[in-house]
Structure 1
Amino acid sequence: MTPEEIAVKIEGHEHEIKSLKHRMDTQEEESKSIQQLVVSVERIALSTEHIMQEQEQQSKRLEKIEGRDGEKWRKAMSYIGTAILGAVLAIVFSRIGI
């Protein structure tokens, strides 16, 4: 092999090495971006889980509140019904003479 052929081959190898370095740098940047994306997705997953737990707790509290209002309404209707029944019985008993 002549010195010119060796120089050409070395130059070709240097060019190939530069190309590989450039591709490796690009690959490292992409790897960093992917790692940042993974961290962001993990944060989102944790936030979503926390939001779901909070929503579940609020749902339970809302059910209690709704149940309490319904219970108050039923008690009020019971009292009104008892009062009406008492009035009707009082009228009936007064007519009968008891």
Structure 2
Amino acid sequence: MDGYIPRSEHEEFARRIDSENARQNRRIALLEENGRHINSMTVSIEKMAVNMENMLAEQRKLGDRMEILEKEPAETHKQIKMAIITSAISAIVGAVVTALLILL
């Protein structure tokens, strides 16, 4: 009877193989779930990157608009100052011309 193993030994071997298969199946299931989570995170990160790019573009637009709004009071002040200077020079020139006309 060389080469044959007793039934009890075969059953023990079969139980251990079944146990190992069950353990491996649990590990595979965990790995598959981890893979799904990683894929989900990858998609979320891609969406977040796109949203951040859009936000950056919007911030640049807002920055340009803010710069225009910040320059507007300075431009208005400059125009008012130029109008006052022009009026003052016109008044002085008018007074000088009037004085010259009266003297002549």
The Cα shift of 1:66 comes to 2.4
Deviation of 1:73 after TM superposition, in Å, equals: 1.4
> Which of 54, 57, 60 is equivalent to 1:56?
60
Aligned AA for 1:21?
N
TM-score by length of 1: 0.84
1:22 aligns with 2:20: no
1:81 pairs with 64, 81, 85, which one? Answer: 85
**In 1, Cα distance between the equivalents of 2:48 and 2:7?**
61
- Unpaired segments of 5 or more residues in structure 1? none
- TM-score, normalised to structure 2, is 0.80
> Percent identity of the aligned residues?
21
Tell me the number of residue pairs that the alignment of Structure 1 and Structure 2 aligns: 96
Aligned to 1:34: 38
Structure 2 unmatched ranges of 5 or more? none
Distance in 1, matches of 2:97 and 2:10, equals 130
